[in-house]
Amino acid sequence: MTTQNLSLYHLTRPSKKSDKKAPLLIMLHGYGSDENDLFSFASELPEELFIISARAPFKMEPFGNAWYTIHWDTTSGKFSDTEQASKSRDLIANFIDEAVETYDVDPANVTLLGFSQGTILSYAVALNYPEKLKNIIALSGYINEDLLPENIIDKDFTNLDFYCSHGSADQVIPVEWARKVKPFLDAHKISNTYSEFPVGHGVAPQNFFEFKKWLKNRL
């Protein structure tokens, strides 16, 4: 099912259980992709979930979308548009509120699932707005400290739980960047698990089954 009523265009897969408010899973795709990409996982995920796959706001040519622009510079190389990224971070946080108000879902059981740029934004949303989320599935991304709150030590992260994974042969986002995530989350006493798989910039089947089991145990 598709809808454009909220601030982000998105696809939905309703929960197949109607006895209570459904846990909500929001998917955030990577750079140059769209809402159809991660939505291919939906049919394989727990049936009690209400699933939303959102489209990033910045249209790319000739196709695809991005949460923020990645610039190329001859001296500094590749760098992210932090202003756009910050706007998308806050847009996603607002979209979570819209989704909770619009759909019959449990506001205390919201999961973000991101891939690549969608993961970078998932980290940013969770660490700025921890009260809006319960679980974060962070695939093939890293924590961009430019998107974190200045008062991070004052935030309450006790309700958050992260599943983080990365390909050890990732040619797009170096695995060394992802390996900094667990020490960061541990330092802030945030519950997390980190896994690596012998693949490039993608999700291996064993990666999928691992995070599916992890999520199932937390619904």
Please write the tens of the pLDDT for every residue from 186-213. Answer: 999 999 999 999 999 999 999 999 999 9
Rounded-to-integer distance, Cα 54 and Cα 74, Å: 33
Average pLDDT value over all residues in the chain: 93
pLDDT at position 19 is 75
Report H helices in 16-166. 35-39, 82-102, 117-128
Nearest-angstrom CA–CA distance, 106 and 212: 19
| Torsional class of 25: left (φ above 0), alpha (ψ -120 to 50), beta (otherwise) | beta
Look at residue 169 and tell me whether its pLDDT is greater than 80.
yes
Q: Which domain holds residue 162?
A: 2-216
Q: Is the pLDDT of residue 18 over 90?
A: no
Q: How far out from the chain centre does Cα 6 lie? A: 18
Would you state the torsion angle of the CA atoms of residues 202, 45, 124, 71, taken in this order, to the nearest 10 degrees?
Answer: 30
From residue 119, give the alpha-carbon distance in Å to each of 2, 21, 141, 186. 23, 26, 5, 18
Please tell me the distance from the alpha carbon of residue 47 to that of residue 164, in angstroms, as a whole number: 22
Question: How many CB atoms within 10 Å of residue 50?
Answer: 23
Dist CA 99 CA 119 (whole Å) = 19
Give pLDDT tens digits for 115-152: 999 999 999 999 999 999 999 999 999 999 999 999 99
**Which tokens in the block code for residue 13?**
């897969």
Q: What does pTM read for this prediction?
A: 0.94
CATH number at residue 125: 3.40.50.1820
- pLDDT greater than 60 at residue 177: yes
Give the separation between CA 205 and CA 132, rounded to whole angstroms: 29
Total number of domains constituting the chain: 1
Comparing 57-66, 106-115, 173-182, the range with the smallest average pLDDT is: 57-66
